[in-house]
Amino acid sequence: MCSEFRPYYSVIFTSIQTDNTEGYNEMAQQMEEFAKEQEGFLGINSARDTVGITVSYWESLEAIKNWKQQSDHLIAQQKGRKEWYRWYNVRICKVEREYEFNLS
């Protein structure tokens, strides 16, 4: 934990898929590419078992808002609700503290 830690933001996206996942992986990959090009993007991690978790990191709430409204992303969101997701939850969070372990 660093004393000069500067808060940033995370978006926790948790989801359960439908049985129709056609086109999903391609779109997910494309969205990750697009997110990385956004201003204020800091990083992203994804994993899926029964539940899928994608956490993205952003410099500001404004960067998150801009990404939410980006045109390709809006199309992906719509397709997601129509075809791929049975359920999802989005949480916007402020990262207040952080620490890391590295095997030495």
- State the residues that interact with its own copies by CB under 8 A: 10, 12, 14, 18, 45-53, 55, 81, 85-103
CA neighbor of 7 nearest in space, from 67, 55, 58: 58
Least distance in angstroms from the C-beta of 54 to its own copies:
8
CB of 18 vs its own copies, minimal distance in Å: 7
Q: Which residues contact 44 (CB under 8 A, 6 or more apart)?
A: 32, 35, 36, 54, 55, 56, 57
Please identify, using beta-carbon distances, which residue of 30 and 46 lies nearer to its own copies: 46
Nearer to its own copies, 34 or 95 (CB): 95
For its own copies, the closer CB: 47 or 71: 47
Positive or negative, the CA dihedral 21, 26, 31, 33 is: positive
Q: How far is the CB of 62 from its own copies (least distance, A)?
A: 14
Task: Sheet containing 41-48: give its strands across.
Answer: 8-17, 52-58, 41-48
CB of 34 to its own copies, least distance (A): 20
Closer to its own copies by CB, 62 or 87: give it.
87
Q: Is the CB of residue 5 less than 8 Å from the CB of residue 99?
A: no
